[in-house]
A and B are shown apart, each in its own frame.
Chain A
Amino acid sequence: MKQLLILSGKGGTGKTTIAGAFIKLAEARAYADCDVDAPNLHLIMTHISKARQTDYYGMEKAVIDTELCDSCSICRQNCRFEAINESNGKYEVDSYACEGCGVCDAVCPIGAVFLQPAVAGELMLYKDNGVFSTARLKMGSGTSGKLVSEVKKQLKQEAADADLVIIDGSPGIGCPVIASLNGADMVLIVAEPSLSGISDMKRIIATAEKFRIKIGVCINKYDTNKELAQKIEAFCQERDLSIVGKIPFDTAAIKAINKGEVIVDIDCPAGWAATNVFYKTLKLMNS
Protein backbone atom coordinates (compact mmCIF):
# COMPACT_ATOMS: atom_id res chain seq x y z
CA MET A 1 0.00 0.00 0.00
CA LYS A 2 1.41 3.35 -1.05
CA GLN A 3 0.20 6.52 0.62
CA LEU A 4 0.10 9.74 -1.36
CA LEU A 5 -0.55 12.73 0.88
CA ILE A 6 -1.62 16.15 -0.38
CA LEU A 7 -0.56 19.15 1.71
CA SER A 8 -0.07 22.85 1.22
CA GLY A 9 0.82 24.74 4.39
CA LYS A 10 -1.46 27.59 3.39
CA GLY A 11 -5.17 26.93 3.25
CA GLY A 12 -7.26 27.36 0.14
CA THR A 13 -4.55 26.57 -2.39
CA GLY A 14 -6.51 23.66 -3.89
CA LYS A 15 -5.64 20.50 -1.93
CA THR A 16 -9.18 19.10 -1.98
CA THR A 17 -9.79 20.06 -5.61
CA ILE A 18 -6.63 18.18 -6.61
CA ALA A 19 -7.30 15.25 -4.27
CA GLY A 20 -10.74 14.87 -5.86
CA ALA A 21 -9.24 14.86 -9.35
CA PHE A 22 -6.59 12.31 -8.38
CA ILE A 23 -9.12 9.96 -6.79
CA LYS A 24 -11.18 10.01 -9.96
CA LEU A 25 -8.21 9.52 -12.27
CA ALA A 26 -6.68 6.75 -10.20
CA GLU A 27 -10.08 5.10 -9.72
CA ALA A 28 -8.78 4.94 -6.19
CA ARG A 29 -10.19 2.20 -4.02
CA ALA A 30 -9.01 3.84 -0.83
CA TYR A 31 -8.89 7.49 0.12
CA ALA A 32 -9.20 9.70 3.15
CA ASP A 33 -9.80 13.26 4.20
CA CYS A 34 -7.46 14.11 7.07
CA ASP A 35 -8.50 17.75 7.33
CA VAL A 36 -10.61 16.91 10.36
CA ASP A 37 -11.02 20.58 11.31
CA ALA A 38 -12.69 21.47 8.05
CA PRO A 39 -13.34 18.36 5.94
CA ASN A 40 -14.60 19.03 2.43
CA LEU A 41 -13.67 16.08 0.26
CA HIS A 42 -17.03 14.38 0.82
CA LEU A 43 -18.72 17.34 -0.86
CA ILE A 44 -17.30 16.40 -4.26
CA MET A 45 -17.30 12.62 -3.91
CA THR A 46 -20.43 10.79 -4.89
CA HIS A 47 -21.58 8.20 -2.41
CA ILE A 48 -24.52 5.97 -2.82
CA SER A 49 -24.52 4.41 0.60
CA LYS A 50 -24.73 6.17 3.93
CA ALA A 51 -21.62 6.59 6.01
CA ARG A 52 -20.93 4.37 8.97
CA GLN A 53 -20.51 6.78 11.87
CA THR A 54 -18.51 6.18 15.02
CA ASP A 55 -18.03 8.56 17.92
CA TYR A 56 -14.48 9.63 18.47
CA TYR A 57 -13.39 10.04 22.06
CA GLY A 58 -10.55 12.47 22.62
CA MET A 59 -9.03 13.15 26.00
CA GLU A 60 -11.24 12.69 29.03
CA LYS A 61 -12.60 15.88 30.59
CA ALA A 62 -12.79 16.80 34.24
CA VAL A 63 -16.14 17.19 35.95
CA ILE A 64 -16.81 18.54 39.44
CA ASP A 65 -19.51 16.95 41.57
CA THR A 66 -21.10 20.11 42.93
CA GLU A 67 -22.88 18.16 45.68
CA LEU A 68 -19.58 16.97 47.11
CA CYS A 69 -17.39 19.99 46.32
CA ASP A 70 -16.62 22.07 49.41
CA SER A 71 -15.07 24.93 47.40
CA CYS A 72 -11.55 24.52 48.81
CA SER A 73 -10.19 25.74 45.42
CA ILE A 74 -7.18 23.38 45.44
CA CYS A 75 -8.12 22.09 41.97
CA ARG A 76 -8.31 25.60 40.63
CA GLN A 77 -4.93 26.54 42.07
CA ASN A 78 -3.28 23.53 40.46
CA CYS A 79 -4.91 23.71 37.02
CA ARG A 80 -2.44 25.16 34.57
CA PHE A 81 -5.05 25.52 31.81
CA GLU A 82 -7.27 27.95 33.69
CA ALA A 83 -10.04 25.46 33.12
CA ILE A 84 -11.68 25.72 36.51
CA ASN A 85 -13.93 28.69 37.08
CA GLU A 86 -15.45 29.91 40.27
CA SER A 87 -18.61 31.92 40.55
CA ASN A 88 -20.45 32.57 43.83
CA GLY A 89 -18.40 29.91 45.55
CA LYS A 90 -19.37 27.25 43.00
CA TYR A 91 -16.63 25.54 41.07
CA GLU A 92 -17.06 24.43 37.49
CA VAL A 93 -14.86 22.99 34.73
CA ASP A 94 -14.65 24.80 31.41
CA SER A 95 -14.66 21.72 29.21
CA TYR A 96 -13.20 23.65 26.26
CA ALA A 97 -10.18 24.73 28.26
CA CYS A 98 -9.76 21.36 30.03
CA GLU A 99 -7.01 19.25 28.47
CA GLY A 100 -7.80 16.18 30.53
CA CYS A 101 -4.48 16.02 32.39
CA GLY A 102 -6.13 14.74 35.57
CA VAL A 103 -4.29 16.99 38.04
CA CYS A 104 -7.57 18.30 39.53
CA ASP A 105 -8.87 14.77 40.00
CA ALA A 106 -5.66 13.77 41.77
CA VAL A 107 -5.37 16.80 44.05
CA CYS A 108 -8.99 16.99 45.21
CA PRO A 109 -8.88 15.97 48.90
CA ILE A 110 -12.46 14.72 48.95
CA GLY A 111 -12.79 13.06 45.55
CA ALA A 112 -15.25 15.59 44.17
CA VAL A 113 -13.51 15.85 40.80
CA PHE A 114 -13.45 13.02 38.30
CA LEU A 115 -12.58 12.46 34.67
CA GLN A 116 -15.23 11.49 32.21
CA PRO A 117 -14.95 10.26 28.61
CA ALA A 118 -15.91 12.98 26.12
CA VAL A 119 -16.90 12.75 22.47
CA ALA A 120 -14.55 15.01 20.52
CA GLY A 121 -15.65 14.20 17.01
CA GLU A 122 -17.06 11.70 14.62
CA LEU A 123 -15.44 9.19 12.31
CA MET A 124 -17.15 8.44 9.01
CA LEU A 125 -16.62 5.53 6.67
CA TYR A 126 -18.14 5.24 3.21
CA LYS A 127 -17.89 1.95 1.36
CA ASP A 128 -19.17 1.80 -2.16
CA ASN A 129 -16.99 2.66 -5.17
CA GLY A 130 -14.03 2.63 -2.87
CA VAL A 131 -13.34 2.96 0.80
CA PHE A 132 -13.46 6.56 1.97
CA SER A 133 -12.44 7.40 5.50
CA THR A 134 -13.09 10.83 6.94
CA ALA A 135 -13.95 12.54 10.21
CA ARG A 136 -15.10 15.73 11.71
CA LEU A 137 -13.73 17.22 14.89
CA LYS A 138 -16.29 18.72 17.24
CA MET A 139 -16.25 22.51 17.54
CA GLY A 140 -13.52 23.80 19.74
CA SER A 141 -11.97 20.41 20.38
CA GLY A 142 -8.30 19.67 20.61
CA THR A 143 -6.45 16.43 19.78
CA SER A 144 -6.96 16.72 16.04
CA GLY A 145 -3.74 14.77 15.50
CA LYS A 146 -5.15 11.75 17.28
CA LEU A 147 -8.30 11.89 15.15
CA VAL A 148 -6.19 12.03 11.99
CA SER A 149 -4.45 8.85 13.12
CA GLU A 150 -7.87 7.25 13.65
CA VAL A 151 -8.96 8.22 10.13
CA LYS A 152 -5.89 6.53 8.72
CA LYS A 153 -6.28 3.49 10.94
CA GLN A 154 -9.89 3.07 9.84
CA LEU A 155 -8.85 3.25 6.20
CA LYS A 156 -6.08 0.69 6.69
CA GLN A 157 -8.45 -1.76 8.37
CA GLU A 158 -11.08 -1.48 5.69
CA ALA A 159 -8.88 -1.32 2.62
CA ALA A 160 -5.83 -3.34 3.53
CA ASP A 161 -5.38 -4.64 -0.02
CA ALA A 162 -5.45 -1.29 -1.85
CA ASP A 163 -2.22 -0.48 -3.71
CA LEU A 164 -2.71 3.24 -3.64
CA VAL A 165 -4.15 5.46 -0.95
CA ILE A 166 -4.86 9.14 -1.63
CA ILE A 167 -5.03 11.40 1.41
CA ASP A 168 -6.26 14.97 1.50
CA GLY A 169 -4.41 16.74 4.29
CA SER A 170 -5.03 19.82 6.40
CA PRO A 171 -3.46 23.27 6.23
CA GLY A 172 -0.76 24.34 8.67
CA ILE A 173 2.27 22.49 9.97
CA GLY A 174 1.06 21.38 13.41
CA CYS A 175 -0.44 18.25 14.97
CA PRO A 176 -2.93 17.11 12.30
CA VAL A 177 -0.34 17.62 9.57
CA ILE A 178 2.34 15.76 11.47
CA ALA A 179 -0.08 12.90 12.18
CA SER A 180 -0.93 12.69 8.46
CA LEU A 181 2.76 12.66 7.49
CA ASN A 182 3.37 9.55 9.57
CA GLY A 183 3.60 6.61 7.18
CA ALA A 184 3.13 8.60 3.96
CA ASP A 185 5.22 7.52 0.97
CA MET A 186 5.00 10.77 -0.89
CA VAL A 187 3.79 14.30 -0.28
CA LEU A 188 2.40 16.44 -3.04
CA ILE A 189 2.55 20.08 -2.03
CA VAL A 190 0.04 22.37 -3.66
CA ALA A 191 1.65 25.79 -3.79
CA GLU A 192 0.11 29.12 -4.70
CA PRO A 193 2.00 32.02 -6.29
CA SER A 194 1.63 34.64 -3.59
CA LEU A 195 4.04 35.94 -0.98
CA SER A 196 1.99 34.21 1.72
CA GLY A 197 1.79 31.04 -0.35
CA ILE A 198 5.57 30.90 -0.79
CA SER A 199 6.26 31.52 2.89
CA ASP A 200 3.81 28.77 3.88
CA MET A 201 5.14 26.37 1.25
CA LYS A 202 8.66 26.73 2.63
CA ARG A 203 7.42 25.94 6.14
CA ILE A 204 5.51 22.83 5.05
CA ILE A 205 8.47 21.62 2.98
CA ALA A 206 10.75 22.02 6.01
CA THR A 207 8.23 20.06 8.08
CA ALA A 208 7.90 17.26 5.52
CA GLU A 209 11.67 17.04 5.09
CA LYS A 210 11.97 16.04 8.74
CA PHE A 211 10.10 12.86 7.80
CA ARG A 212 12.41 12.10 4.87
CA ILE A 213 9.48 11.59 2.52
CA LYS A 214 9.60 12.10 -1.23
CA ILE A 215 8.24 15.57 -2.07
CA GLY A 216 6.68 16.88 -5.26
CA VAL A 217 5.40 20.41 -5.76
CA CYS A 218 2.64 21.58 -8.05
CA ILE A 219 1.76 25.23 -8.56
CA ASN A 220 -1.94 25.93 -8.61
CA LYS A 221 -3.45 29.09 -10.16
CA TYR A 222 0.09 29.70 -11.46
CA ASP A 223 -1.06 32.35 -13.95
CA THR A 224 -2.48 34.63 -11.23
CA ASN A 225 1.08 35.76 -10.54
CA LYS A 226 3.57 34.40 -13.05
CA GLU A 227 6.52 36.18 -11.51
CA LEU A 228 5.98 34.50 -8.15
CA ALA A 229 5.25 31.18 -9.88
CA GLN A 230 8.73 31.42 -11.36
CA LYS A 231 10.12 32.09 -7.90
CA ILE A 232 8.53 28.88 -6.68
CA GLU A 233 10.10 26.99 -9.56
CA ALA A 234 13.49 28.53 -8.85
CA PHE A 235 13.22 27.65 -5.15
CA CYS A 236 12.35 24.05 -6.00
CA GLN A 237 15.20 23.73 -8.46
CA GLU A 238 17.62 25.08 -5.91
CA ARG A 239 16.40 22.60 -3.32
CA ASP A 240 16.30 19.73 -5.80
CA LEU A 241 12.55 19.30 -5.40
CA SER A 242 10.51 18.06 -8.35
CA ILE A 243 7.89 20.32 -9.88
CA VAL A 244 5.12 18.02 -11.08
CA GLY A 245 3.16 20.62 -12.95
CA LYS A 246 1.31 23.90 -13.06
CA ILE A 247 -2.44 24.39 -13.05
CA PRO A 248 -4.05 27.58 -14.39
CA PHE A 249 -6.71 29.61 -12.63
CA ASP A 250 -9.99 28.50 -14.11
CA THR A 251 -13.49 29.64 -13.14
CA ALA A 252 -14.79 26.38 -14.64
CA ALA A 253 -13.13 24.64 -11.68
CA ILE A 254 -15.19 26.70 -9.23
CA LYS A 255 -18.38 25.87 -11.13
CA ALA A 256 -17.56 22.16 -11.14
CA ILE A 257 -17.00 22.16 -7.38
CA ASN A 258 -20.22 24.02 -6.73
CA LYS A 259 -22.03 21.30 -8.65
CA GLY A 260 -20.34 18.64 -6.53
CA GLU A 261 -18.10 17.49 -9.37
CA VAL A 262 -14.36 17.05 -9.60
CA ILE A 263 -12.43 19.16 -12.11
CA VAL A 264 -11.55 16.21 -14.34
CA ASP A 265 -15.25 15.48 -14.82
CA ILE A 266 -15.49 18.46 -17.10
CA ASP A 267 -13.48 19.56 -20.09
CA CYS A 268 -11.49 22.54 -18.85
CA PRO A 269 -7.88 23.78 -18.75
CA ALA A 270 -7.57 23.19 -15.00
CA GLY A 271 -8.79 19.62 -15.45
CA TRP A 272 -6.32 18.90 -18.25
CA ALA A 273 -3.45 20.31 -16.22
CA ALA A 274 -4.50 18.34 -13.13
CA THR A 275 -4.47 15.14 -15.22
CA ASN A 276 -0.93 15.91 -16.22
CA VAL A 277 0.06 16.56 -12.62
CA PHE A 278 -1.47 13.25 -11.61
CA TYR A 279 0.60 11.16 -14.01
CA LYS A 280 3.79 12.99 -13.16
CA THR A 281 3.13 12.55 -9.45
CA LEU A 282 2.58 8.80 -9.84
CA LYS A 283 5.75 8.51 -11.86
CA LEU A 284 7.71 10.35 -9.20
CA MET A 285 6.21 8.30 -6.42
CA ASN A 286 7.05 5.02 -8.11
CA SER A 287 10.54 6.06 -9.23
Chain B
Amino acid sequence: MKIAVLSGKGGTGKTLVSVNLAAVALDSVYIDCDVEEPNGHLFFQPKDLQKERVTVKLPQADPELCTGCRTCVNFCKFNALAYIKNKLIVFNEVCHSCGGCLLFCPQKAISEKEREIGLIQSGISGNVRVVSGMMNIGEVSGVPIIKKLLQDSRKENKNVFLDCPPGSACMVMESIKDADYCILVAEPTVFGVHNLEMVYELVRIFQKPFGVVLNKCLEEENPAEDFCLQNQITILEKIPFDLELGTMHSNGQIAVRKHPKYKELFLNLLKTVSKEARHETASDT
Protein backbone atom coordinates (compact mmCIF):
# COMPACT_ATOMS: atom_id res chain seq x y z
CA MET B 1 0.00 0.00 0.00
CA LYS B 2 1.32 3.41 -0.92
CA ILE B 3 0.09 6.36 1.12
CA ALA B 4 0.82 9.96 0.22
CA VAL B 5 0.66 12.61 2.94
CA LEU B 6 0.05 16.10 1.64
CA SER B 7 -1.28 19.57 2.43
CA GLY B 8 -1.49 22.72 0.39
CA LYS B 9 0.03 24.77 3.14
CA GLY B 10 3.42 24.16 4.70
CA GLY B 11 3.85 23.48 8.38
CA THR B 12 0.53 21.73 8.96
CA GLY B 13 2.11 18.46 10.08
CA LYS B 14 2.82 16.35 7.00
CA THR B 15 6.12 15.19 8.39
CA LEU B 16 4.63 14.57 11.85
CA VAL B 17 1.94 12.34 10.35
CA SER B 18 4.07 10.48 7.82
CA VAL B 19 7.04 9.89 10.14
CA ASN B 20 4.87 8.60 12.97
CA LEU B 21 2.76 6.42 10.69
CA ALA B 22 5.86 4.85 9.16
CA ALA B 23 7.34 4.31 12.62
CA VAL B 24 4.21 2.66 13.97
CA ALA B 25 3.75 0.36 10.96
CA LEU B 26 5.46 -3.01 11.33
CA ASP B 27 7.71 -2.95 8.33
CA SER B 28 7.63 0.17 6.24
CA VAL B 29 9.36 2.60 3.95
CA TYR B 30 9.31 6.33 4.52
CA ILE B 31 10.04 8.43 1.46
CA ASP B 32 10.68 12.15 1.80
CA CYS B 33 9.55 13.83 -1.42
CA ASP B 34 9.95 17.33 0.00
CA VAL B 35 13.30 17.53 -1.76
CA GLU B 36 13.68 21.29 -1.27
CA GLU B 37 13.40 21.02 2.50
CA PRO B 38 13.69 17.36 3.51
CA ASN B 39 13.20 16.84 7.24
CA GLY B 40 12.19 13.22 7.83
CA HIS B 41 15.80 12.07 8.19
CA LEU B 42 16.24 14.48 11.11
CA PHE B 43 13.70 12.39 13.03
CA PHE B 44 14.74 8.92 11.95
CA GLN B 45 18.52 9.49 12.10
CA PRO B 46 18.91 6.51 9.73
CA LYS B 47 21.96 4.23 9.92
CA ASP B 48 23.90 2.40 7.21
CA LEU B 49 23.48 5.32 4.89
CA GLN B 50 23.70 4.90 1.18
CA LYS B 51 23.89 7.88 -1.10
CA GLU B 52 23.06 8.02 -4.74
CA ARG B 53 23.58 11.05 -6.93
CA VAL B 54 20.67 12.25 -9.02
CA THR B 55 21.67 13.71 -12.32
CA VAL B 56 19.96 15.26 -15.30
CA LYS B 57 21.15 15.26 -18.88
CA LEU B 58 22.64 18.47 -20.12
CA PRO B 59 23.53 19.19 -23.73
CA GLN B 60 27.01 20.17 -24.87
CA ALA B 61 28.13 21.05 -28.36
CA ASP B 62 31.29 19.80 -29.99
CA PRO B 63 32.89 23.08 -31.20
CA GLU B 64 34.54 21.18 -34.06
CA LEU B 65 31.20 20.07 -35.44
CA CYS B 66 28.95 23.00 -34.50
CA THR B 67 28.44 25.34 -37.45
CA GLY B 68 26.44 27.90 -35.50
CA CYS B 69 23.24 27.22 -37.45
CA ARG B 70 21.17 27.89 -34.31
CA THR B 71 18.66 25.13 -35.05
CA CYS B 72 18.90 24.06 -31.40
CA VAL B 73 18.64 27.62 -30.07
CA ASN B 74 15.51 28.23 -32.11
CA PHE B 75 14.01 24.91 -31.10
CA CYS B 76 14.50 25.23 -27.34
CA LYS B 77 11.21 26.32 -25.78
CA PHE B 78 12.87 26.94 -22.43
CA ASN B 79 15.40 29.47 -23.72
CA ALA B 80 18.14 27.32 -22.29
CA LEU B 81 20.47 27.79 -25.25
CA ALA B 82 22.22 30.76 -26.81
CA TYR B 83 24.86 31.03 -29.47
CA ILE B 84 27.21 33.80 -28.43
CA LYS B 85 30.65 34.60 -29.78
CA ASN B 86 30.83 31.46 -31.90
CA LYS B 87 29.99 29.27 -28.99
CA LEU B 88 26.89 27.42 -27.83
CA ILE B 89 26.04 28.44 -24.27
CA VAL B 90 23.78 26.23 -22.11
CA PHE B 91 21.87 27.75 -19.18
CA ASN B 92 21.93 24.71 -16.92
CA GLU B 93 19.17 25.63 -14.49
CA VAL B 94 16.49 26.24 -17.11
CA CYS B 95 17.24 23.20 -19.28
CA HIS B 96 14.48 20.57 -19.02
CA SER B 97 16.61 17.84 -20.62
CA CYS B 98 13.99 17.20 -23.30
CA GLY B 99 16.68 16.15 -25.76
CA GLY B 100 15.27 18.21 -28.62
CA CYS B 101 18.52 20.04 -29.34
CA LEU B 102 20.36 16.76 -29.65
CA LEU B 103 17.65 15.24 -31.80
CA PHE B 104 17.43 18.06 -34.32
CA CYS B 105 21.05 19.20 -34.66
CA PRO B 106 21.77 18.77 -38.39
CA GLN B 107 25.49 18.32 -37.69
CA LYS B 108 25.04 15.83 -34.84
CA ALA B 109 27.26 18.17 -32.86
CA ILE B 110 25.38 17.87 -29.57
CA SER B 111 25.94 15.20 -26.99
CA GLU B 112 24.79 14.98 -23.40
CA LYS B 113 26.61 14.95 -20.10
CA GLU B 114 25.31 14.31 -16.63
CA ARG B 115 24.82 17.14 -14.16
CA GLU B 116 24.17 16.50 -10.50
CA ILE B 117 21.12 18.26 -9.05
CA GLY B 118 20.81 16.42 -5.76
CA LEU B 119 20.97 13.07 -4.10
CA ILE B 120 18.90 10.28 -2.67
CA GLN B 121 19.95 9.11 0.74
CA SER B 122 18.63 5.89 2.20
CA GLY B 123 19.19 4.14 5.48
CA ILE B 124 17.57 2.13 8.23
CA SER B 125 15.93 3.30 11.42
CA GLY B 126 14.53 0.34 13.36
CA ASN B 127 11.53 -0.99 11.43
CA VAL B 128 11.67 1.75 8.83
CA ARG B 129 13.69 2.14 5.69
CA VAL B 130 14.18 5.86 5.32
CA VAL B 131 14.65 7.35 1.87
CA SER B 132 15.17 11.08 1.42
CA GLY B 133 15.49 13.13 -1.73
CA MET B 134 17.66 16.19 -1.29
CA MET B 135 17.91 18.91 -3.90
CA ASN B 136 21.17 20.85 -4.10
CA ILE B 137 20.93 24.46 -2.98
CA GLY B 138 20.58 26.87 -5.89
CA GLU B 139 18.77 24.38 -8.12
CA VAL B 140 15.43 25.39 -9.58
CA SER B 141 13.57 22.11 -9.95
CA GLY B 142 13.56 18.99 -7.84
CA VAL B 143 11.10 17.15 -10.08
CA PRO B 144 13.73 14.73 -11.48
CA ILE B 145 14.62 13.71 -7.90
CA ILE B 146 10.98 13.07 -7.04
CA LYS B 147 10.55 11.07 -10.23
CA LYS B 148 13.54 8.93 -9.28
CA LEU B 149 12.22 8.43 -5.73
CA LEU B 150 8.86 7.30 -7.07
CA GLN B 151 10.41 5.04 -9.66
CA ASP B 152 12.38 3.30 -6.91
CA SER B 153 9.29 3.14 -4.69
CA ARG B 154 7.40 1.11 -7.29
CA LYS B 155 9.69 -1.80 -6.50
CA GLU B 156 8.61 -1.79 -2.85
CA ASN B 157 6.03 -4.27 -1.67
CA LYS B 158 5.97 -2.97 1.90
CA ASN B 159 3.82 -0.14 3.18
CA VAL B 160 5.18 3.07 1.71
CA PHE B 161 4.59 6.49 3.23
CA LEU B 162 5.27 9.46 0.97
CA ASP B 163 5.95 12.77 2.71
CA CYS B 164 5.02 15.27 -0.01
CA PRO B 165 6.18 18.83 -0.62
CA PRO B 166 3.72 21.64 0.22
CA GLY B 167 1.50 23.20 -2.43
CA SER B 168 -0.44 21.66 -5.26
CA ALA B 169 1.92 22.24 -8.16
CA CYS B 170 3.85 19.83 -10.36
CA MET B 171 6.03 18.51 -7.53
CA VAL B 172 3.04 17.40 -5.47
CA MET B 173 1.34 15.98 -8.48
CA GLU B 174 4.33 13.79 -9.23
CA SER B 175 4.28 12.52 -5.66
CA ILE B 176 0.63 11.48 -5.57
CA LYS B 177 0.38 10.05 -9.08
CA ASP B 178 0.76 6.44 -8.06
CA ALA B 179 -0.39 6.61 -4.45
CA ASP B 180 -3.16 4.23 -3.36
CA TYR B 181 -4.48 6.61 -0.78
CA CYS B 182 -3.92 10.27 0.14
CA ILE B 183 -3.93 11.76 3.61
CA LEU B 184 -4.58 15.50 3.62
CA VAL B 185 -3.27 17.24 6.72
CA ALA B 186 -5.00 20.49 7.66
CA GLU B 187 -4.66 23.00 10.45
CA PRO B 188 -7.56 24.90 12.03
CA THR B 189 -7.09 28.31 10.42
CA VAL B 190 -8.62 30.06 7.43
CA PHE B 191 -5.22 29.64 5.78
CA GLY B 192 -5.45 25.94 6.47
CA VAL B 193 -8.90 25.66 4.91
CA HIS B 194 -8.02 27.65 1.85
CA ASN B 195 -5.04 25.40 1.14
CA LEU B 196 -6.97 22.26 2.03
CA GLU B 197 -9.41 23.25 -0.69
CA MET B 198 -6.56 23.31 -3.20
CA VAL B 199 -5.26 19.80 -2.41
CA TYR B 200 -8.83 18.58 -2.16
CA GLU B 201 -9.27 19.72 -5.76
CA LEU B 202 -5.99 18.04 -6.73
CA VAL B 203 -6.82 14.62 -5.28
CA ARG B 204 -10.17 14.80 -7.00
CA ILE B 205 -8.58 15.61 -10.37
CA PHE B 206 -6.44 12.51 -9.96
CA GLN B 207 -9.37 10.54 -8.58
CA LYS B 208 -7.42 9.45 -5.54
CA PRO B 209 -9.20 8.10 -2.49
CA PHE B 210 -8.44 10.37 0.44
CA GLY B 211 -9.22 11.45 3.96
CA VAL B 212 -8.28 14.37 6.18
CA VAL B 213 -6.25 14.52 9.39
CA LEU B 214 -7.08 17.62 11.39
CA ASN B 215 -3.94 18.66 13.22
CA LYS B 216 -3.33 21.15 16.04
CA CYS B 217 -7.02 21.14 16.99
CA LEU B 218 -7.89 23.73 19.63
CA GLU B 219 -11.01 23.97 21.74
CA GLU B 220 -12.32 26.74 19.54
CA GLU B 221 -14.04 26.57 16.20
CA ASN B 222 -12.21 24.69 13.51
CA PRO B 223 -12.82 26.04 10.00
CA ALA B 224 -11.02 23.01 8.51
CA GLU B 225 -13.41 20.65 10.26
CA ASP B 226 -16.39 22.69 9.06
CA PHE B 227 -15.08 22.40 5.52
CA CYS B 228 -14.81 18.61 5.81
CA LEU B 229 -18.33 18.33 7.20
CA GLN B 230 -19.79 20.56 4.51
CA ASN B 231 -18.15 18.56 1.75
CA GLN B 232 -18.68 15.15 3.35
CA ILE B 233 -14.98 14.45 3.52
CA THR B 234 -13.82 11.59 5.73
CA ILE B 235 -12.07 12.86 8.85
CA LEU B 236 -9.51 10.20 9.68
CA GLU B 237 -8.27 11.66 12.93
CA LYS B 238 -8.25 14.80 15.04
CA ILE B 239 -4.86 15.42 16.60
CA PRO B 240 -5.21 17.88 19.47
CA PHE B 241 -2.96 20.88 19.91
CA ASP B 242 -0.60 19.40 22.44
CA LEU B 243 2.48 21.06 23.89
CA GLU B 244 4.13 17.74 24.73
CA LEU B 245 3.71 16.45 21.19
CA GLY B 246 4.84 19.79 19.78
CA THR B 247 7.98 19.84 21.91
CA MET B 248 8.88 16.26 21.04
CA HIS B 249 8.40 16.96 17.38
CA SER B 250 10.37 20.21 17.43
CA ASN B 251 13.24 18.35 19.09
CA GLY B 252 13.25 15.79 16.32
CA GLN B 253 11.80 12.96 18.40
CA ILE B 254 9.39 10.42 17.01
CA ALA B 255 6.38 10.56 19.32
CA VAL B 256 5.23 6.96 18.77
CA ARG B 257 8.64 5.67 19.82
CA LYS B 258 8.63 7.78 22.98
CA HIS B 259 5.16 7.58 24.38
CA PRO B 260 2.46 4.85 24.39
CA LYS B 261 -0.24 7.52 24.22
CA TYR B 262 0.93 8.65 20.78
CA LYS B 263 1.65 5.12 19.68
CA GLU B 264 -2.01 4.37 20.21
CA LEU B 265 -3.12 7.50 18.40
CA PHE B 266 -1.08 6.76 15.28
CA LEU B 267 -1.85 3.03 15.36
CA ASN B 268 -5.51 3.95 15.27
CA LEU B 269 -4.90 6.32 12.40
CA LEU B 270 -3.00 3.61 10.53
CA LYS B 271 -5.86 1.17 11.04
CA THR B 272 -8.40 3.69 9.80
CA VAL B 273 -6.28 4.50 6.75
CA SER B 274 -5.71 0.81 5.91
CA LYS B 275 -9.41 0.14 6.20
CA GLU B 276 -10.30 3.14 4.05
CA ALA B 277 -7.69 2.26 1.42
CA ARG B 278 -8.80 -1.38 1.27
CA HIS B 279 -12.39 -0.31 1.01
CA GLU B 280 -11.47 1.91 -1.93
CA THR B 281 -9.60 -0.86 -3.72
CA ALA B 282 -12.48 -3.23 -3.12
CA SER B 283 -15.03 -0.80 -4.51
CA ASP B 284 -12.88 -0.31 -7.62
CA THR B 285 -13.17 -3.91 -8.64
Contact = CB atoms under 8 A, between A and B. Distances in A.
Contacts of A206: 137
Interface stretch (B138-146, B231-239, B256-264, B273-281): B138-146
Interface in B127-156: 135, 137-143
- The contact size tier of chain B is 35 or more
A99 B78 CA distance: 10
Contact of A102 (B100, B201, B220): B100
Interface string A170-206: 1111110010000000000000111111011001001
B208 interface: no
B100 A196 contact: no
Contact of B169 (A137, A194, A200, A228): A137
DSSP majority for the A interface? Answer: loop
A140 B169 contact: yes
Contacts of A107: 103
Contacts of B191: 16, 40, 43, 257
B9 A40 contact: yes
A134 interface: no
B227 to A, nearest CB: 13
A126 to B, nearest CB: 16
A271 interface: no
A99 B98 contact: yes
A80 B247 contact: no
A13 interface: yes
B187 interface: yes
Contact of B250 (A78, A103, A175, A195): A195
- The contact size tier of chain A is 35 or more
Nearest to B165: A172
Interface in B76-120: 77-78, 96-100, 103-104
B15 interface: yes
A37 B166 contact: yes
Nearest to B143: A142
Contacts of B246: 224
B167 A37 contact: yes
Contacts of B252: 194-196
B11 A81 contact: no
Interface in A64-115: 78, 80-81, 96, 99-103, 106-107
Contacts of A194: 249-252
A97 to B, nearest CB: 9
Interface in A17-43: 37-38, 40, 43
Interface of A: 8-13, 16, 37-38, 40, 43-44, 59-60, 78, 80-81, 96, 99-103, 106-107, 137, 139-142, 144-145, 170-175, 178, 192-197, 199-200, 203, 206-207, 210, 224-225, 228, 251, 254-255, 257-258, 260
Interface of B: 8-12, 15, 36-37, 39, 42-43, 75, 77-78, 96-100, 103-104, 135, 137-143, 165-173, 187-191, 194-195, 198, 201-202, 205-206, 218, 220-221, 223, 243, 246-247, 249-252
